Amino acid sequence: MLEPLYQKTIVCDQCKAQFITSKVRSSTVRVARTDSDFCAHYKDINPNFYEVRVCPKCGNATTEKFSVPFNNVSRTIFLDKIGNQWRTKDFGGERTKEEALQAYKLALINAQIRGERDVIIAQLCHHIGWLYRYDERFEEEKRFLGLALKSYMQAYVNEKSDIHLAKLMYVIGDLHARTGDSGEAIRWFGKVINDKTAVDPALVQMARDRWAELRTPPA
């Protein structure tokens, strides 16, 4: 059988060290089911565990989607908060759920220090929420879904042009439902259903289903 992990060499954009990170071959990924907010549950290896690349020398954690480089100010803050306390730790091989969580949290702090785009910060928080969901740690999950929701809402206002808007509105609706505000969830699902520019019929159907589910009081 094909080894699911393969290795990639990355150059750290902070300390310039070269390091190895692992990725999952897409042909080995098998999805068991997907939740209404696109959280996939995998039969065996979870590719999300390997999305963050962590420099073993300085702790600089990024994903392929990062687009804001360090400047003098953010670099100083990074060194102060992470780099100067960092003890060599290698995330390059196989990762446990706990190591994946650590990697995502490092990436989140890094993204906040760099002033990354809201949608990047939102997706990191959303993924951290999923990692807690896999472990049924629902309090922590809800906390990070709330943080994700806040950043998705900011992305909706600030970054409209470069995002799949209907999907963003759908996710905002779904996270409102998951964090306990079904009124707002219904409103956002309604926006997806009535959006004239929505070109994804499957997504509109998902919004209809979620909308109907929330409008129907439990029997």
Question: What is the full DSSP assignment across 68-101?
Answer: ----HHHHHHHHHHTGGG-------S---HHHHH
Tokens of 71: 């400047």
Scanning 6-71, the segments in alpha helix (DSSP H) are none
Please identify, among the stretches 47-55, 130-138, 168-176, 204-212, the one whose residues bind Zn ion according to the rule CB under 5 A. Answer: 47-55
Q: How many residues bind Zn ion (CB under 5 A)?
A: 8
Residue linked to tokens 């409209």: 160
Residue 12 binds Zn ion (CB under 5 A): yes
* CB of 55 vs Zn ion, minimal distance in Å: 3
Please identify, among the stretches 54-62, 69-77, 133-141, 176-184, the one whose residues bind Zn ion according to the rule CB under 5 A. Answer: 54-62
Burial of 139 (0-12, 13-18, 19+ CB in 10 A): exposed
Tell me if residue 159 falls in helix, strand or coil: coil
Residue 57 binds Zn ion (CB under 5 A): yes
Minimum CB distance to Zn ion smaller for 57 or for 133: 57
Residue 53 binds Zn ion (CB under 5 A): no
d(CA 131, CA 149) in angstroms, rounded, equals: 16
Residue 109 binds Zn ion (CB under 5 A): no
Structure letter (DSSP) for residue 85: G
Which position among 5, 10, 15, 29 is part of the footprint of Zn ion (CB under 5 A)?
15
Residue 14 binds Zn ion (CB under 5 A): yes
* CB of 123 vs Zn ion, minimal distance in Å: 22
Residue 47 vs residues 33, 40, 41, 128: alpha-carbon distances, Å: 14, 10, 10, 14
Please identify, among the stretches 45-53, 56-64, 191-199, 202-210, the one whose residues bind Zn ion according to the rule CB under 5 A. Answer: 56-64
Binding residues for Zn ion (CB under 5 A): 12, 14-15, 17, 55, 57-58, 60
